[in-house]
Amino acid sequence: MKKRFLIVFMILCVFSIGIIGCQQKPETPAVAKQEAAPPPPPAPPPPPPTGTQQTPSAGEPSLEVKSHIKQGLSYVSVAKNANSPAIFNENIENSINEFSNAIKKDPSYAEAYSNRGVAYMMQKKYNKALDDLKKAKELKPDSANIRYNLASCFSLMGSVDYGLDELDAALARGFSSYDSLRKDPDIENLRKHKEFRTILEKHKVFIK
């Protein structure tokens, strides 16, 4: 009797375990996360359009501008040595045209304005000369030659005080053409002023 009860008990236990095992849900396999695809590389910049011209660096004139300046200075040289008013006038006009062409090509080139201003001074067109020289000074205030040319223009116009100021500025920036200080007829009005020697001595310039 006991043996039969034990057998029945064991059968019931096995049956119960089977039922419990059937009721357990199988584990759902974990779904692997998909990594986001990396963004596409940025598109390369478009190539520059063909036919563009590189802008010359500030203060460095192009060869064409230099050619106009060189030709203009050659006309000035001929005018200075002209033996007739007709030759003088023709060459000064030609020089002004060359300097004007340089300015059209490079409006920021100070020397072109300064040279044209000197040409106008030779024509005794002092107001035009003054406008050009002021523009040159605006573009290149530390140029000793431009400041000297401006002093010369003021001297010829009878504005001695302004001329002395510009002469002082020219010497402060290294103007060293002592022969011009001695003999240049354009600054004769400055040489006559008592402050002329004072300015020279201030900059340790001693001329006879």
Residue 187 has pLDDT above 80, yes or no: yes
What integer pLDDT is reported at residue 207 of this predicted model?
A: 87
Q: What is the residue-averaged pLDDT of the chain? A: 83
Mean pLDDT of 113-126: 98
Mean pLDDT of 57-63: 73
In this predicted model, what pLDDT tens digit does every residue of 136-175 receive, in sequence order?
999 999 999 999 999 999 999 999 999 999 999 999 999 9
How many angstroms separate the CA atoms of 174 and 85, rounded? Answer: 35
What predicted TM-score, i.e. pTM, was given to this entire model? 0.71
Mean pLDDT of 96-116: 98
b/e 86-104 (16+ beta carbons within 10 angstroms → b): eebeebbebbbbbbbbbbe
Mean pLDDT of 48-75: 72
What integer pLDDT is reported at residue 42 of this predicted model?
A: 60
Residue 205 has pLDDT above 60, yes or no: yes
Q: Which residues contact 97 (CB under 8 A, 6 or more apart)?
A: 72
In this predicted model, what pLDDT tens digit does every residue of 4-50 receive, in sequence order?
444 444 544 444 444 444 444 444 444 444 455 556 666 554 444 33
φ, ψ at 107 (rounded to 5°): -65, -10
How many angstroms separate the CA atoms of 148 and 93, rounded? Answer: 23
Residue 73 has pLDDT above 90, yes or no: yes
Which domains are delineated in the chain?
60-140 (1.25.40.10), 141-208 (no CATH)
Question: 7: helix, coil or strand?
Answer: helix
% of residues, the chain, pLDDT over 90: 70
What integer pLDDT is reported at residue 55 of this predicted model?
A: 35
